[in-house]
Structure 1
Amino acid sequence: MARLGMLIDLSACVGCAACAVACKMENQVPAGASRLWIREREVGTFPNLTVEFRPEQCNHCENPPCVPVCPTGASYQTPDGLVQVDYNKCIACGACVAACPYDARYINKKGYADKCTFCSHRIAKGQQPACVETCPTYARVFGDLDDPNSEISKTLKAAGRQDVLRPEMGTRPKVIYLNAPSKKGLTQEVTRHD
Structure 2
Amino acid sequence: MAIDLNKCTGCSACVTACQAENNVPWVGEGQVTMGRDMGWIRLERYYEEGAIDASRAGPVDVRFLPMICQHCGNAPCEPVCPVFATYHTPDGINTQVYNRCVGTRYCANNCPYKVRVFNWYSYTDEEPVREGLGHIPEPLNWQLNPDVTVRENGVMEKCSFCIHRIRDHQNQAAVEGSTITDGQVITACQQSCPAEAIVFGNIR
- Provide the TM-score with structure 2 as the length reference: 0.65
1:30 is aligned, of 21, 25, 47, to 25
Whole-Å Cα distance in 2 between the matches of residues 88 and 66 of structure 1?
17
The residue aligned with 1:135 is 193
Q: In the alignment, is residue 121 of structure 1 matched against residue 164 of structure 2?
A: yes
1:65 and 2:76 equivalent?
yes
Larger radius of gyration: 2
Consecutive unaligned residues of structure 1, counting only runs of 5 or more, are 1-5, 144-149, 155-194
Match of 2:115 in 1: 104
Residue-pair matches, total: 141
| Equivalent residue runs for 1:38-77 within 5 Å | 38-44=43-49, 49-77=60-88
Secondary structure of the residue aligned to 1:22 is: helix
Q: Which consecutive aligned stretches of 4+ in structure 1 deviate over 3 angstroms post-superposition?
A: 44-49
- The CA deviation at 1:12 is 0.3
CA distance in 2, matches of 1:31, 1:102: 21
1:78 pairs with 89, 99, 102, which one? 89
The equivalent of 2:104 in structure 1 is: 93
- What amino acid sits opposite 1:18 in the alignment? A
| CA offset digits 1:72-108 (Å, max 9, x no partner) | 1111011111111101111111111111111111122
1:117 aligned partner, one-letter code: S
User: Distance between the aligned counterparts of 2:87 and 2:14, measured in 1?
Assistant: 25
RMSD (CA atoms): 1.5
Q: Deviations over 1:95-136 (max 9, x none)?
A: 111111111111223221110001100112233110011111
- 5+ residue gaps, structure 2, are 28-37, 52-57, 122-151, 170-184
* Aligned position for 1:7: 2
**Shift in Å, 1:45:** 5.9
The structure whose RCO (Cα within 8 Å, separation 6+) is larger is 1
Please report the TM-score for the alignment, with normalisation by the length of structure 1.
0.69
**Larger relative strand fraction:** 1
- Offset at 1:49? 3.7
Find the aligned partners of 2:93 and 2:5 in 1 and give their Cα distance.
23
Residue 114 of structure 2 aligns to a residue whose secondary structure is coil
Percent of residue pairs identical: 43
